[in-house]
Structure formats: structure tokens, C-alpha cells
């Protein structure tokens, strides 16, 4: 089976690259992946599959039934949305949509999963069980396409016993794969604060309620919640990237706006931390004579890779790739809505190396110069196909 998968991955490699390039040149933002979804549906229909369309708006699901299809179901997921970034790469497949770019590799994820569809559809008589292909919209934007697809029943009829996903990794050399058991990626919540006071002339501070001073104290104090209230074994990050006090050198504004993000890997601490932040910010502002509106936009939960499943898949990746090409990953405080699947069903989210320093392919995700070594696509499609059929073999 492994030889057959590798042979088909090589055979379809050029098609997978062409698919990725088409998707890269025609990106669409979260919840607007209409042309992308239609293209994916056409590709699936062309190989004889019948996709279920319109899940969570623009999501699709396709089923590949092997022998004894009810024996076991494994789910494979790819995301399809792009980012509001102007591409700076000078490549033939550069984005044709102004200000929109596949800067996180979702074009590669979707192309790889379409490659899996081709491979496993050919081999469907050689494995038992069912593979459920999930093409998901809106990973990049809350509330996350994964949560909406789950609400629309993507984990039912048939219900997968496990979900497997992959993500490009520009920090890992092409040809290598990374795994991590247990806690892997962080929950993500957005924080929006409006600190109000009474503005006026900077030379007359005694007549004012200075929201700039209040906001500054709040930012410093909120960091103490992380350092003094966080369970020591629970990684957390609190960062503020936007602070707007729209006065001038001698004018204190009436209000200050702040935006930040809170990330952690413990749902109980997440709730407690958010509650304490809100209480502290509002109380400190009031104590200093002003007020604070503290708004929380809930993001994704933390992503946990099921230990036993991840150990199995890592061992199977070693079988397929060789031990030297399978590495262990560190914790990553970025967020991913694949986490919603991991909170419901045994799941594993691994990383696909795409870096090639010799060719200058070194830019990180979410940057205007992000690109991948497309040799990773053959690996991505072949390995995911292998992981799926091997997981179907586990009783």
C-alpha cells in the first residue's frame, strides 16, 4: 500500500502543484470562498466523487468508501480561506486579487487534500472503512469555520472516530514533518478596552481625569494577572498591539482605546483569567476617577493532540518518511480553529515542512512574501493518504 500511495503521489504531483497555483492566484477571504468552493467541488466531481456543498456557507465534504465502509471513519481536514494581505512575491501564480493573498498556506492544504482524494479514490478497493474529506471555510476569522461546520453536522453521518489535519511550516525544511502530543496551540481571545476620562489642556492636569495615565496603569496591572495568578504549568501570553490616545503634546484626550490578545492552553484558566482581567481593568479605572469598557471577543479553544492517536500517526509517518524526517514540535502560542475538532473528537494536527533556504523560501506565515517549496505538496498528499489508511487499520 505504501508503494502504491507514493507512486500515485508522484503521478499526481504536477496536478497538485497546478491546483495550488490556481488557488493561490485566486484567493478569497474568510466566509467568501464561493469560487474556491465551486472549484474544489468541480475537482471532486471530476474524479467521480459527490461532494456535499454549502456546509457552514462555503464548506464541502466528500466521502471515499473503501471495503466495509461502516467499519471505521477517519476525517481529514483542509482550510480554504486567504488573508487581507497584498502579495509582494514576483511569481507566475501571484495573487490576482488586490489586497488578498494565501499567506498562510491554505491553498497548499486544499491542494494536498484534493491530492488525497485522487490517491484514495484509486485505492478504495484496497482499504477498509471510510475517509471523510472536510474542506473548511474561514479558519482565519472568528467564530471559525470549524465551529460552524461542527454545528452543521460535519462530525456526524458518518461520524469520524478521529480527525487529522496538517499545516505548512516555513520554519521546517521541506521533506520533514513535525508532531507534538497533548497541548500544542493556544486558545485565542481578542480584548478591546475603551478607557474614558475627562480630557483637556496638558498643562492643567489637576482639572482632568487623564485616561492615558489610567490606561497605562491598566496595561501594566493586567500583566500581573499572568505573572501572579496563572497556574505555573499553564503557558499564557497577554499582548497589546494597539494603544490609541488621540491627543497632541499638550492636549489630553477624553478616551483611550486599547486592543490586545490573550492566549493560553487551559480552558479553566482561560475563563478565570478573562474574568479577572475585566474586573481589574474596570475597577482600576473607576478607582482613578474614570471608566473602562472591557469587551472580550471569544476566539478558538486551545488545540490538543490526542496522545495515543498522535503517537500512532508519528510512528506511521516514520514508516513513510524515515525517522530522520520526522521531528518533535515545541508548543506554539498561535491559534487554529482545528482546535474545535480536537475538543470533540480524538484529533491530531501536524506540521508539513515547506522551507527551502537555498531557494530563498524562508518567509513566515501572514507575511507578504510567504511562499512554499512546492515539493512539499507531494509529501503532504502522500503522507496524509498513508496516515488515513493506516489509521483505518487500527482496531
pLDDT, tens digit, for every residue of 231-271?
A: 998 999 999 999 999 999 999 999 999 999 999 999 999 99
Q: Tell me, what's the pLDDT at 395?
A: 57
Domain ranges of the chain: 2-185+301-392, 189-298
Q: Identify the architecture of domain 2-185+301-392 in CATH.
A: 3-Layer(aba) Sandwich (3.40)
Which residues are part of the catalytic machinery? Answer: 81, 139
Q: Tell me, what's the pLDDT at 365?
A: 97
377-387 residue pLDDT tens: 999 999 999 99
Please give the CATH number for the structural domain made up of 189-298.
3.30.70.360
29-75 residue pLDDT tens: 999 999 999 999 999 999 999 999 999 999 999 999 999 999 999 99
pTM above 0.95, yes or no: no
Q: Tell me, what's the pLDDT at 82?
A: 98
Please write down the long-range contacts of 316-323, taking CB distance under 8 Å and 24 or more positions apart: 316/386, 316/387, 316/390, 316/391, 317/177, 317/179, 317/350, 317/383, 317/387, 319/2, 319/386, 319/390, 320/2, 320/6, 320/382, 320/383, 320/386, 320/387, 321/175, 321/176, 321/177, 321/379, 321/383
- How many other CB atoms are found less than 10 A from the CB of residue 87? 27
Q: How far apart are CA 279 and CA 268, in angstroms?
A: 17
Q: Tell me, what's the pLDDT at 377?
A: 98
Q: SS in 3 state form for 316-349?
A: HHHHHHCHHHEEECCCECCCCCCHHHHCCCEEEE
For the residues of 15-78, what is the DSSP string, one character each? HHHHHHHHHHHS--BTT--HHHHHHHHHHHHHTT---EEEETTTEEEEEEE-BSTTS-EEEEEE
- Listed as ranges, residues in the chain with pLDDT below 50 are none
Q: Tell me, what's the pLDDT at 394?
A: 75
Please write down the long-range contacts of 47-52, taking CB distance under 8 Å and 24 or more positions apart: 47/117, 47/118, 47/121, 48/121, 49/117, 49/121, 51/135
Q: Tell me, what's the pLDDT at 1?
A: 92
Cell numbers linked to 278 = 475585566
Amino acid at each position: 500500500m505504501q508503494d502504491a500511495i507514493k507512486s500515485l503521489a508522484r503521478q499526481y504531483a504536477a496536478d497538485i502543484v497546478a491546483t495550488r497555483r490556481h488557488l493561490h492566484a485566486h484567493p478569497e477571504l474568510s466566509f467568501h470562498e464561493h469560487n474556491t468552493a465551486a472549484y474544489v467541488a468541480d475537482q471532486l466531481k471530476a474524479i467521480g466523487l459527490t461532494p456535499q456543498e454549502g456546509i457552514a456557507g462555503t464548506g464541502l465534504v466528500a466521502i471515499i468508501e473503501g471495503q466495509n465502509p461502516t467499519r471505521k471513519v477517519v476525517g481529514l481536514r483542509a482550510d480554504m480561506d486567504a488573508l487581507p494581505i497584498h502579495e509582494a512575491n514576483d511569481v507566475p501564480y501571484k495573487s490576482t486579487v488586490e489586497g488578498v493573498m494565501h499567506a498562510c498556506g491554505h491553498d497548499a492544504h486544499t491542494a494536498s487534500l484534493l491530492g488525497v482524494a485522487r490517491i484514495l479514490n484509486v485505492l478504495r478497493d484496497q482499504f477498509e472503512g471510510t475517509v471523510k474529506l472536510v474542506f473548511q471555510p474561514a479558519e482565519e476569522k472568528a467564530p471559525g469555520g470549524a465551529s460552524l461546520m461542527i454545528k452543521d453536522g460535519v462530525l456526524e453521518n458518518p461520524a469520524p472516530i478521529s480527525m487529522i489535519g496538517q499545516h505548512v511550516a516555513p520554519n521546517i525544511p521541506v521533506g520533514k514533518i513535525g508532531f507534538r502530543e497533548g497541548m500544542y496551540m493556544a486558545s485565542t481571545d481578542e480584548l478591546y478596552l475603551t478607557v474614558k476620562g475627562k480630557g483637556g489642556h496638558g498643562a492643567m492636569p489637576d482639572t482632568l481625569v487623564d485616561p492615558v495615565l489610567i490606561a497605562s496603569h491598566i496595561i501594566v496591572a493586567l500583566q500581573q494577572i499572568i505573572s501572579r495568578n496563572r497556574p505555573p504549568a499553564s503557558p499564557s501570553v497577554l499582548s497589546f498591539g494597539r494603544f490609541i490616545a488621540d491627543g497632541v503634546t499638550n492636549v489630553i484626550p477624553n478616551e483611550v482605546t486599547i486592543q490586545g490578545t490573550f492566549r493560553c492552553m487551559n480552558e479553566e484558566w482561560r475563563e478565570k483569567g478573562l474574568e479577572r482581567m475585566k474586573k481589574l481593568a474596570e475597577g482600576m479605572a473607576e478607582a482613578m476617577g474614570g471608566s473602562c469598557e472591557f469587551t472580550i471577543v471569544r476566539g478558538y479553544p486551545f488545540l490538543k493532540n490526542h496522545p495515543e492517536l498522535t503517537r500512532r500517526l508519528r510512528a506511521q509517518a516514520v514508516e513513510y518518511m524515515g525517522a530522520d524526517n520526522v521531528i518533535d514540535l515545541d508548543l506554539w502560542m498561535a491559534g487554529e480553529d482545528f482546535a474545535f475538532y480536537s475538543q470533540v473528537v480524538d484529533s491530531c494536527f501536524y506540521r508539513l515542512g515547506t522551507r527551502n533556504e537555498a531557494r530563498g523560501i524562508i518567509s513566515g506565515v501572514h507575511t507578504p512574501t510567504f511562499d512554499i517549496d512546492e515539493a512539499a505538496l507531494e509529501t503532504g498528499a502522500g503522507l496524509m493518504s498513508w496516515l488515513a489508511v493506516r489509521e483505518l487499520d487500527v482496531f
